[in-house]
Structure 1
Amino acid sequence: MRVLIAPDRFGSTLGPTQAATAMAAGWAAGAPHDDVRILPLSDGGPGFLDVVQRALGGVTVATTVSDPVGREVPAAVLVVDEGHRRTAWVETSQATGLHLLAADERDPGSTSTWGVGQLVDTALAEGATRIVLGVGGGATNDAGAGMLAALGAGPSSVLARGGLALTDAPGDSLLGLPSVLDRLSGVELVLATDEETPLLGLSGTSAVEAPRKGASPDLAQRLEFALGHFTDVLARSLPSPPLDLLTGRPRRLDREPGAGAAGGLGFALLALGARPVGAVAEVLRVSGFSVAAAGSDLVVTGTGRLDWTALRGSVVSGVAEATMETARPVVCVAGECLVGRRESMTLGLAGCYAVADTPREVEAMVADPVATLEARTARVARTWSPAR
């Protein structure tokens, strides 16, 4: 049997390629007679650059950027020449990722996206005319103000101190924004994310995402106010606000789907003219997933946790939907399966198998994620491809 293994990362323990390699080893142990191929995937978060380079090749340009609290960390931009167009692929979590911070450092009121601006600067210095930014897995909640400051839109003393500092941002904080827009006028910006969160409101980034990054209810409310104020500052600073094609009125960028991605980083990118695309769909396209799935008898995907958030806009849901077009079965191996059989079948999965079902198994998985993932995948292989 021909098996395609196409997982996402498993939380912060295994990247997409590491997970795919472990699953392939497990499948080979359980069904050594099968032909196994790996195709790591990403939702735009950690591992995005590795997955894209595996698919497209290109040159990795090493650099150093600021992490969410201002420390220097290594990062990279992937540069790919496609005919007469040079595309730079950026993984924003290299500068903003939650995995860069210790538990006691997670404070979305003070973390900054300054490092993302440095990554964009690196891409521009390499002559990129198209920049694709994979947005996900961030620890910030500053509406992209830090990134704008790093690009020269305004003073770092106001914009790069985290979302909470935006409460007092004066109306002239973004006087340099027109110059930034001029600098980017010949560059196509692409916002690659599957998050549909708006910037503000009860379903906005401060209300929904900030608590997961360490915000208390009180801090989340204060961030909501701060980001609301910042949207007014930015709207007044745009030289030519984007217009709604139906009404002819200025668009409310804060209400756009994806504006709340990565703590509002999506909002700032939309203000710079970025075109939003689904990160998973983009990765599936560049990796040639449909062709690979059509040439397989079974597709095996994976993720750290299969819960209700994974039912839409995730690698698992993207793989399940794309595999339906090829009429091939798809199963999922997850660190934890927190949805029932009805939900997984609705998603298009023929089966969902958890690495850990009990607290003791969770501890074992955390202690040795590779061995436990291999062992579970081997059991799945014996179920789906028994020895003759």
Structure 2
Amino acid sequence: MRVVVAPDCFTGTLTARQAAAAMAAGWSAWAPDDEVTPVALSDGGPGFVDALAGSLPGQLLTVTVGGPTGQPTPATVLLVEAGDDPSGLRSAYVESAQACGSHLVPAAERDPGAATSYGVGELLLVALEEGAQRVVVGLGGSVTVDGGAGLLAALGVAATGADLAHGPRGLAGLPVDGLGGLHAARERFAGVELVAASDVDVPLLGRHGAVHGFARQKGATAEQLPGLEAVMTAWASAVVEAAGHAGAPDPGRLVALPGAGAAGGLGFGLLALGAVRRSGAEAVTAAVRLAERLDGADLVLTGEGSFDWQSLRGKVVAGVAHVAGGLGVPVVVVAGQVAVGRRELAVAGVESAYAVADTPEQVAASLAAPAAALSARTERVARTWHR
């Protein structure tokens, strides 16, 4: 058999590359003569650059940028030459979580009113300095809710009576006509294809937006949400006003565009610069040429830490199922835990899903040795699916 193993990371335990290796080893333990190809994937969140670096021949630049609380933070930019990138352009891949991810701030110390996306803007500057013709920014896993204000500040955007670089608290009192420098920031990306690759397609404001949809998991209390939403609303008005003066077509639509609320509103900041939004999983599957790898395969294994309803909306499993479905390749999921029913699996184009751990004891054992547990579960899956 020809088997392609194409998982996302198992958050907190295994990177996508480690997960792919463990699953491949498990399958090969049962069927050593099969051709097994591991391919690490990502939906744009943590592990985005690492997953791509496993498939794309390119140069990894290590830099230091400001983290979400201003602390120096190491990050990487993956540069891929035009001849090696499926787009045909000299491309830079940037992971926002490396500069403002939740893993950079202990849970007890998270302050959504002060966390900034400034470091992401610094990563974009590195990409421009390296002559990138295309910049793909993976969005996800952020600890910020600043609407991309920090990102724009790093690119030279400033405000009257407000501080864009230090989180939502610095935006209080921002007048609607108080932004300057957005036109110059947009000009820096003239002729550059800017892509916001996110796993969610939510707008900036409202019930499912950056604040009400995600701020609680970044440390905000229920009492803080109305204030954060008010600040975000005022910020959105100021950006729309400035974007109109900067020549952005139909700037009023930026707030409601799918993906504007991704990564605490980082999507909004990128859209204001002229970016286009794309599903993170689709961007990665295209970059690693997953369709070519699946052509002629007998089976594809994919997975992630928790396979639930969110997995079927813009996540890696959905992306793999979409590509595989067009080629008639069966899809099987191996995940840490599974919370998706058979009917949902069928609608998503997934044949079966298997959990590494079901009981509390199994969960504890898998967390203690995640690679071994994933490999062992995949070996048992191979017994069912090998032919």
Would the TM-score normalized by the shorter structure come out above 0.5? yes
Preserved contact between residue 144 and residue 264 of structure 2 (Cα < 8 Å): yes
Distance 2:238 2:287 in 1: 37
Pick from 131, 145, 152 the counterpart of residue 135 of structure 2.
131
The Cα of 1:186 is off from its aligned counterpart by 3.0
1:100 aligns with 2:104: yes
CA contact (8 A) 1:200 1:206 kept: yes
Q: Secondary structure at the match of 1:196?
A: coil
Q: Give the Å deviation of 1:86.
A: 2.2
Q: Where do 5+ consecutive residues of structure 2 fail to align?
A: none
Deviation (angstroms), 1:98: 1.4
Please name the residue that 1:91 is paired with: 95
- How is 1:223-372 mapped onto 2 (pairs within 5 angstroms)? 223-238=228-243, 239-244=245-250, 250-372=251-373
* Alignment-mate amino acid for residue 207 of structure 1: H
Partner of 1:380: 381
Q: Is the Cα–Cα contact under 8 Å of residues 158 and 173 in structure 1 kept in the other structure?
A: no
RMSD: 1.8
Amino acid at match of 1:254: V
Secondary structure (helix, strand or coil) at the match of 1:160 reads helix
2:148 match: 144
Q: Which moved more, 1:101-110 or 1:201-210?
A: 101-110
User: Any conservation in 2 of the 1:330–1:348 contact (CA below 8 Å)?
Assistant: yes
Give me the whole-angstrom Cα distance separating, in 2, the residues matched to 1:97 and 1:36. Answer: 33
How far apart, in 2, do the equivalents of 1:106 and 1:377 lie? Answer: 37
Report what 1:210 is aligned to.
Answer: 215
Which of 176, 183, 186 in structure 1 is aligned with 2:188?
Answer: 183
CA distance in structure 1 between the aligned counterparts of 2:79 and 2:8, rounded to whole angstroms: 22
Q: 1:78 — aligned with what?
A: 78
Looking at structure 2, the residues matched to 316 and 85 of structure 1 have their Cα atoms a distance apart, in angstroms, of 27
> Which residue identity does 2:188 align to in structure 1?
R
Q: Is the 8 A contact 2:177 2:241 kept in 1?
A: no
Contact 2:254 / 2:272 at 8 angstroms: preserved in 1?
yes
Shift of 1:56: 2.3
Deviation at 1:353, TM superposition (A): 0.3
Question: Are residue 34 (structure 1) and residue 38 (structure 2) matched?
Answer: no
Q: What letter corresponds to residue 201 of structure 1 in structure 2?
A: G
Pairing partner for 1:120 from 118, 124, 147: 124
The number of residue pairs the alignment matches comes to 381
User: Residue 14 of structure 2 aligns to which amino acid in structure 1?
Assistant: L
**Secondary structure, counterpart of 1:209 in structure 2:** helix
Partner of 1:232, secondary structure, is helix
Measure how far apart 1:64 and its partner are: 0.3
Show the 5 A alignment for 1:6-85.
6-82=6-82, 85=89
Q: What TM-score, normalized by structure 1, do the two folds share?
A: 0.93
Q: CA deviation at 1:81?
A: 1.8
> Shift in Å at residue 312 of structure 1?
1.3
Identity score, percent:
48
Match of residue 247 from structure 1: none
The answer as to whether partners of 1:12 and 1:99 remain within 8 angstroms in 2 is no
Q: Tell me the alpha carbon deviations over residues 252-283 of structure 1, each in whole angstroms, 9 at most, x when there is no partner.
A: 21111100000000001000001112221121
Compute the displacement of 1:177 (Å).
Answer: 1.8
- 2:162–2:170 contact (8 Å) kept in structure 1: no
State the alpha-carbon separation in 2 of the partners of residues 316 and 157 from structure 1. Answer: 42
Instruction: Give ranges in structure 1 of 5+ residues lacking alignment.
Output: 245-249
Distance in 2 between the 1:329 and 1:85 partners? 32
In 2, Cα distance between equivalents of 1:242 and 1:186: 15
Measure the CA separation in 2 of the matches of 1:120 and 1:281: 21
Instruction: Give the residue type in structure 1 aligned to 2:223.
Output: D
* Kept in 2: contact 1:142–1:264 (CA 8 A): yes
Report which stretch shifted further, 155-164 or 63-72.
155-164
Partner letter of residue 48 of structure 2? F
Q: Name segments (4+ residues, structure 1) moved above 3 Å.
A: 170-173, 240-244
Structure 1 counterpart of 2:304, which letter?
A: T
Distance, in Å, in 1 between the alignment partners of 2:310 and 2:385 is: 27
Cα separation, partners in 2 of 1:94 and 1:173, compared to 1, 3 Å = farther
Aligned AA (2:97): S
Which amino acid is 1:169 matched to?
L
